[in-house]
Structure 1
Amino acid sequence: MHNPLGEFENRRLNLFHIKTTLIAGAGQVVDGYDLTAASLVLASMEVYFGNSLLQLSTVLFASIILGNILGAIIFGYLAKHGRKKFYGIDAMLMIFGALFQAFATSAYEIAILRFLLGLGIGADYVLSPLINAEYANIKDRGKLMAISGGFMWNFGALLSAIVTLYLAQIFPQSTLWRVVLALGSVPAIAVVVFRRKFPETPHYLLYVKKDLNELKEKYGLTVDNINISKIVLKAVLPVLFIASLTWYLYDISAYSSVFFGPNVIAERIGVNGVLFELIILAIFSVPWNFTSSLLADRLGRKKLQAIGFIGMGVFTLLFAFLIGKVDILTTLIIYGMSSIFNSLGPGTIVGFWGVELFPAEIRGITQGITVVSGRMGVLTTTFLFPIILQNYGIVTTMILLGILGIVASIITLRLPEPKGKSLSEVSVGKESMKQTSADKNS
């Protein structure tokens, strides 16, 4: 089977792949850092602004998530006009939104700034995995996307816990939250500096812009005119729906822990909130994100996500039934096991589907739709989780989350497996690739 970009996609892992992966991942560091940091300094902000937990969580999280949704929609559409063109604007929004939180004097100002921050992060959720995948080789694409996605997100979250724990020894509570939140701008600055140096992706140049001269100039690739497969909505929509649904269900579960783990869950089991988050991330999350990256191109995305979801569900249910009945260490380990399966599976993989399963022409839009679905899951958590907690307690809440994990595992099995497949296959189509190969041999 002939692959029009075979010479590029079959290259061995090299420095270009590593650089593009790290730069793509820097945006995820910002998101992981900021969302986790906000939960860690929630108590400090509550004292300063005088709001209840429910009101403040709505300001902090709903504003940034609404920004995510709009950013994903806008930049998902704009991606068809160029990947590289917008691969710095998202970071500028993140810098502005994160940095100026330090000067906010009201909850409304915080909401506006976090909306702008969210706008940049939502754009980055679309652009970073899309661009990183289109730069990657076939053999290591899963590994590279996993490192720039789930691994870097949790690295950012871990960084926020370390920074908060350290700065809490230096600054009073009234200043702590300002410094911690503003520092989220630092990795975004690195993004702006380095992203503009990379060329437009070869997939965009060939399949969307159709500029064979620029493709040859930037990558040294000579490609004949090709027939691009017609996009059939009947074939695309069911897969897009399932991919979006898995991200929606994942974010309901995952962000329940992100938003309220350091406050509600840690308090229930008698552990300091920041220390709790540090332990979970350093021992149970980040190492297993990296493990997932090593397995993504071996076991496949579908297997890892299905195993991850089922593990999350089972251990969340176990946590619900045993909380308050066993010692702190056992409770922490059980909760940590749920985090391990989270990181091994959907926490790393769930952002792949909108990119890997769809043609280059609509890849920005499909990724944007899956991102929006995930953000809707976060909004569901933001508004419902505190209410369910207050009315039904932590046990009932964790049981519901455990059931969702098991359901999501079953749904995942309906997705196609992109492991070892060229992104060209969904852009040109198998039959066109076969025909091109036959034409070359005749």
Structure 2
Amino acid sequence: MIKLTGLTVGGMFIDGYILGIIGTAIAAATAELNMSLFWEGLTGASALIGIFIGGPLGGWLADKLGRKPTFTLDLALFLVGSILQFFVDSTWQLFGVRLLMGIAIGADYSVSWPLLAEFAPARLRGRLMSLSEVAWYVGFMFAFCVGYAMSTVFSADWRIILGSSTVPALILFLARLGLPESPRWLMNQGRTEEAHRIAHDYLESPSDVLDLAGESTRQGTFGMLFSRDYWRTTTFVSVFWFCTVTPYFAIATFAASVLSDYGLGDGFGGALGLNGLALVGVLVSLALIERVGRRKLILPTQWVCAVVLLIIGLWTSAPPALVLTCFLVFAFANAIPTAITGVYPGEVFPTEIRGIGTGFGCAFSRVGAGLGTFLLPWSMHNLGPGPSMLIAAGVCVVGAVVSQVLAPETTGRPLSETSAPHRGRPRREKIPA
């Protein structure tokens, strides 16, 4: 279980790494390749575009071919793209390679979370899965440090800086070889004997082994996401994920300039505090998720995000210290539900559509991340800071309302229960100890 968790969160580390390392190399690449502003922005967003494509594709493959082969194939694809970064000599090649790596990362989201959910003991499932967000932040910050050191201390070429992702990718690829197939996926395929053998070898809880009997052998389809049984689940996962990441991607990406627009100097110190508190929020979520429960963590924190952004948007003449405080509170509160965006999909979708359901939610969230990142500068310039923050607050309100109505409590419960069809899902308010 420890090895599988490490190999799963390793994929998120790599995602954070490739999104962080581009920021330290894009200026040099732009100058050498003579990129236009359009291509510079497109190259910076290429990994996000790739995740949008790779999420549903990888989820579909994970449900059809199995978790194990997809888990290895997506990282092999990433490794190829990472190596190709050493040899790019044109704008379109750089965009294409980064797009390929994004597709691999999106696929990894869609197989790693379902795979971990299907092996993790119910009592620790949320904590193990939320480790992924911690790994993402660590990967992002580590990439920034590596890129900064390579560019300033060693004056390394930007291709070498980008290609440095090959090292963690190769280590992770080799470590993933030989992992077992998910026993739940095997049960879904009718391979009962093989499933029980793997379950007895790798599942630590006898109750989790017994829960395999609840698996069906029906084949999943994309249309099942919008069926009477699961449209509420799909709506919740997609909207919750979208509304959680959209404001943060926008504000965090342009933190320094946004804070500067509110009279907070160059905004650099505030931007560091913003991202630092986000990491603290993720760690708090990690510590409390099994004690407090998913629903009790995400509901109040989403409303807190909406309120502080509403204050900033309505009180346009607020003292800079109050504005900074509100942004810091937002970063901390937003990180708590963000850590759970990867937990819910693996729990609320059944085995036959767990991969494609996770992939669809991931793709939908990346639409929000892209819109937030690209539209915030335009909104700040054309509408002004106040209306921009009101729009962000509105996104948080939508997420909070949808979660209030649709978010289930899944803490400590077996997957056969948390992923049951909505119309047949038993109502249980008490969270098992």
Task: Please indicate the TM-score interval, normalised by the length of the shorter structure.
Answer: 0.7 to 0.9
SS in 1 for 2:383: helix
1:236 equivalent in alignment to 2:236:
no
Q: Distance in 2 between matches of 1:195 and 1:351?
A: 20
In the other structure, the counterpart of 2:290 is 297
| Gapped regions of structure 2 (runs ≥ 5) | 202-208, 427-433
Count of aligned residue pairs for this structure pair: 408
Pick closer, same or farther for the CA change 1:426–1:38 going to 2, 3 Å: same
CA deviation profile, 1:83-120 (whole Å, cap 9, x unmatched): 01111211122223234334433321211011101111
In the other structure, the counterpart of 1:5 is none
- In structure 2, what residue type is equivalent to 1:336? L
CA deviation profile, 1:231-274 (whole Å, cap 9, x unmatched): 87202112211211121222321221343335x3366544475x
Q: Distance in 1 between matches of 2:253 and 2:40?
A: 11
> Share of identical aligned residues, percent?
25
SS in 2 for 1:298: helix
Q: 1:59-78 residue pairs with structure 2 within 5 A?
A: 59-61=43-45, 63-78=46-61
Q: 1:20-419 residue pairs with structure 2 within 5 A?
A: 20-51=4-35, 55-61=39-45, 63-80=46-63, 81-147=65-131, 149-172=132-155, 175=156, 177-206=158-187, 208-220=188-200, 226=213, 228=215, 233-261=227-255, 264-265=257-258, 268=261, 269-271=264-266, 278-281=272-275, 283-319=276-312, 326=319, 332-345=324-337, 347-413=338-404, 414-419=406-411
Pick closer, same or farther for the CA change 1:58–1:225 going to 2, 3 Å: closer
Shift of 1:365: 1.4
CA deviation profile, 1:189-231 (whole Å, cap 9, x unmatched): 222111123211221122x122222123333378799575578
Q: Distance in 2 between matches of 1:74 and 1:287?
A: 33
1:425 equivalent in alignment to 2:417:
yes
SS in 2 for 1:87: helix
Q: Distance in 1 between matches of 2:237 and 2:286?
A: 19
Q: Distance in 2 between matches of 1:160 and 1:124?
A: 19
| Gapped regions of structure 1 (runs ≥ 5) | 1-15, 435-442
CA deviation profile, 1:43-88 (whole Å, cap 9, x unmatched): 4444444446554222320x22221122112211111221011112
- In structure 1, what residue type is equivalent to 2:47? I
- In structure 2, what residue type is equivalent to 1:306? L
Q: Distance in 2 between matches of 1:389 and 1:103?
A: 38
Q: Distance in 1 between matches of 2:316 and 2:161?
A: 31
SS in 2 for 1:349: coil
In the other structure, the counterpart of 2:204 is none
Q: Distance in 1 between matches of 2:113 and 2:267?
A: 34
Contact 1:134–1:203, Cα closer than 8 Å, also in 2: yes
SS in 2 for 1:234: coil
SS in 2 for 1:22: helix
In the other structure, the counterpart of 2:206 is none
RMSD between aligned residues: 3.2
Deviation larger for 135-144 or 107-116: 107-116
Contact 1:145–1:352, Cα closer than 8 Å, also in 2: yes
- In structure 2, what residue type is equivalent to 1:187? P
Shift of 1:127: 1.0
SS in 2 for 1:220: helix
Using structure 1 for the length normalisation, give the TM-score.
0.82
Q: Distance in 2 between matches of 1:323 and 1:293?
A: 35
Pick closer, same or farther for the CA change 1:227–1:295 going to 2, 3 Å: closer
Q: Distance in 2 between matches of 1:296 and 1:192?
A: 30
In the other structure, the counterpart of 1:439 is none
Shift of 1:358: 1.5
